[in-house]
Amino acid sequence: MAVNLAVFNDFLPVQGVRIGIASAGIKRVGRKDVVIFEVAEGGSIAGVFTTNAFCAAPVTLSKANLAHQPRYLIINTGNANAGTGARGMVDAKAVCQALAEKTGVSAEQILPFSTGVIGEPLPVAKITAVLGDALTNLAENNWFDASNGIMTTDTQPKGASRQFEHDGITYTISGISKGAGMIMPNMATMLGFIATDAAIEQSVLQQICQECADVSFNRITIDGDTSTNDSCMLIATGAAGNAPVTQASGALYEKLKAELRDIFIELAHAIVRDGEGATKFVTIKVEETASKEEALQVAYTVAHSPLVKTALFASDANWGRILAAVGRAGVKNMVLDAIRIYLDDVCIVENGGRAVSYTEAQGAAVLKNAEFTIRICLGRGDVQETIWTTDLSHDYVTINADYRS
């Protein structure tokens, strides 16, 4: 079950990025499970990584190697190389070393990413054996195959792509993500790889990557669990020929950031839509707050409440559960009477209780849809934040309890 949109297959190539795919048979013979991104010399790469204190060895290595003008990204599925102790780092480095030898760059110029089973040693030999295959088929138009190649238990590949013009130059952005499907003992690793042909100064690229991730990948939640391997990478090749963008670039800087943000959000939404057992795609907007922090506190408390999530699954407009979740979010000095809660445009809570105008039929009409917004107005400021989540269904329990891959 999922709330997916149609599979995306309209990728625009991004000049300066070539992608190669191979099958190492890590988990299943014949499955494409190794993807290599090659970034032309002169490109920049930025990244945002999991905040889990126990990040996997490839994450630690990729973070460090970002400083060495990386030229290649290598992603494997089927094994997360997480919870693998000291051996994890040795194995991650071995893969980078092998790719370095085949490409003539230094091992520090390679960023490794792994997703899949945790606690099992990375099958290094299987991966290095197919590096040649992947390098042989490097091509600019391999984005769709890559979107398939990074899937684990996702029910469909995820991608987004667009072009825009500015001052006579056409810029292209393409990206892929993988997400929240997790079958024991896997983790819900989120990966995002986005590239543009704009030239962007590295420190600015990092800032843009962080800002875009903060309103996209960092604003989605299926079940509150954070993987040891989550990573989101942004590549800027410079092939479009513009003068490198800095924060002083004005309109182009703003335009690029807005377009990238939209792509990031599309890719993040695709992960939520493919959430395990999801039957609803739910936007939670918290408005009129005194700070970003309290807006997010309330939004995540509502999004993570099993009582709210099961009510959404049941298409039950259970305003009492939402109100109680707001109340326990830890925001100081909230005034109950000031709070209004809406399902799309239907006011369900005001003046400390169920809205006088509210009827169950109104709530049911909204919740029968597969997508809707819960809007919570705290009446204590002018800050707002938005996050996206799903319901909690029988299928979620089934997927996470009954199967073992």
Active site residues: 189
Q: Interface residues for a copy of itself in 325-344 (CB under 8 A)?
A: 325-329, 331, 334, 336-337
Q: Is 400 in the site for a copy of itself (CB under 8 A)?
A: yes
Which of 159, 195, 177, 170 lies closest to 113, judged by CA? 177
Q: Interface residues for a copy of itself in 63-82 (CB under 8 A)?
A: 82
Q: Can you tell me which of 178, 255, 321, 375 binds a copy of itself, judged by CB under 8 A? A: 321
Locate the DSSP E strands across 210-272: 220-221, 231-236
8 Å CB contact between 191 and 113: yes
Neighbours of 165 (CB within 10 A): 9
Q: How far apart are CA 256 and CA 162, in angstroms?
A: 11
Q: Can you tell me which of 27, 162, 285, 304 binds a copy of itself, judged by CB under 8 A? A: 304
Judged by CB under 8 A, which stretch of 17-25, 122-130, 217-225, 259-267 contacts a copy of itself? 217-225
Minimum distance of a copy of itself from residue 386's CB (angstroms) = 22
In sequence order, the β-bridge partners of residue 37 are 19, 73
8 Å CB contact between 51 and 150: no
Minimum distance of a copy of itself from residue 301's CB (angstroms) = 9
Tell me which DSSP letter residue 12 carries.
P
Judged by CB under 8 A, which stretch of 63-71, 138-146, 249-257, 301-309 contacts a copy of itself? 301-309
Q: Interface residues for a copy of itself in 364-393 (CB under 8 A)?
A: 392-393
Q: How far apart are CA 132 and CA 113, in angstroms?
A: 18
Tell me which DSSP letter residue 217 carries.
G
- Sequence-distant (6+) residues with CB within 8 A of 64 are 108
Q: Please state at what angle helix 57-65 crosses helix 85-103, rounded to 10 degrees.
A: 50
Q: Can you tell me which of 12, 15, 40, 83 binds a copy of itself, judged by CB under 8 A? A: 83
Q: What is the SS3 assignment for 334?
A: coil
Spell out, one character per residue from 91 to 120, where the chain touches a copy of itself: x when CB under 8 A holds, - when not: ---------------------------xx-
Cβ proximity to a copy of itself, 59 vs 173, nearer residue: 59
Contact set with a copy of itself (CB under 8 A): 51-55, 82-86, 88, 118-119, 182, 184-185, 187-188, 223-228, 304-307, 310-311, 313-314, 316, 318-321, 323-329, 331, 334, 336-337, 349, 351-354, 392-394, 396-398, 400-402, 404
